[in-house]
A and B are shown apart, each in its own frame.
Chain A
Amino acid sequence: DQQVKQNSPSLSVQEGRISILNCDYTNSMFDYFLWYKKYPAEGPTFLISISSIKDKNEDGRFTVFLNKSAKHLSLHIVPSQPGDSAVYFCAARVTGTASKLTFGTGTRLQVTL
């Protein structure tokens, strides 16, 4: 049972344009969401997070939007840069579960010149 889903396995965006990565979840108990970026042969690195009490969190070029009623979150990267090319995972957590994270399957972002 995949509780966190990223339905787009890959995405290609031109440099300078906006990248939008989507994530859906099914467990209504999730109350904290995170985005990780992963390069080949490296572990995931934390990008940005959002609590369920918010609907938007912004950090530089990265913005995460949360729609609780739709159980949907998205990561916006603007402007996209070639160095953003990586696999992006969204993850979710339930408060009180000792930081246990449930990950999506990832979306491979390719930023082209």
Chain B
Amino acid sequence: GAVVSQHPSWVICKSGTSVKIECRSLDFQATTMFWYRQFPKQSLMLMATSNEGSKATYEQGVEKDKFLINHASLTLSTLTVTSAHPEDSSFYICSARDPQRKADEQFFGPGTRLTVL
């Protein structure tokens, strides 16, 4: 149980285009999902907390107009990187919290590798 999927697993796009990444909890309902970004040889950095039915909470330094998050259902959150630029190239990982389990336990998706040319 507690499986989280992401789609796509990798994407290459041209500079200036927008890319949408989906995060799904497959066997549980996730009221809260988290979006992380990981640059090479660095730690996972929390970008935003996504709550179902409400606006996402962004971490300091993360542009909410550039990284649009939508958590429209209890099993799906999307991250849209708008007007992507090469510096947005990174590994994006989502996680979901199962409210039926311990509050500290997050289940992570496999990640999405974004390359902006």
Contact = CB atoms under 8 A, between A and B. Distances in A.
Interface string A24-68: 000000001010100001111110010000000000000000000
Contacts of B111: 41-43
B106 A104 contact: no
Given A100-B49, A104-B43, A44 B108 contact: yes
B4 interface: yes
A104 B42 CA distance: 8
Interface residues of B, number: 25
A2 interface: yes
A9 B40 CA distance: 12
B110 A46 contact: no
Interface string A93-108: 1000011111111100
Given A43-B93, A43-B110, A93 B44 contact: no
A43 B43 contact: no
B71 interface: no
Contacts of B108: 36, 43-45
Contacts of A104: 43
Contacts of A36: 108
Contacts of B6: 43
Contacts, number: 55
A41 B104 contact: no
B104 A32 contact: yes
B110 A42 contact: yes
A103 B105 contact: no
A104 B109 CA distance: 18
Given A2-B43, A9-B41, A105-B43, A99 B103 contact: yes
Interface of A: 2, 4, 9, 32, 34, 36, 41-46, 49, 89, 93, 98-106
26 contacts: A9-B41, A36-B108, A41-B9, A41-B110, A41-B111, A43-B108, A43-B109, A43-B110, A43-B111, A44-B108, A46-B105, A46-B106, A46-B107, A49-B104, A89-B43, A93-B104, A99-B34, A99-B104, A99-B106, A100-B34, A101-B106, A103-B36, A103-B44, A103-B45, A104-B43, A105-B41
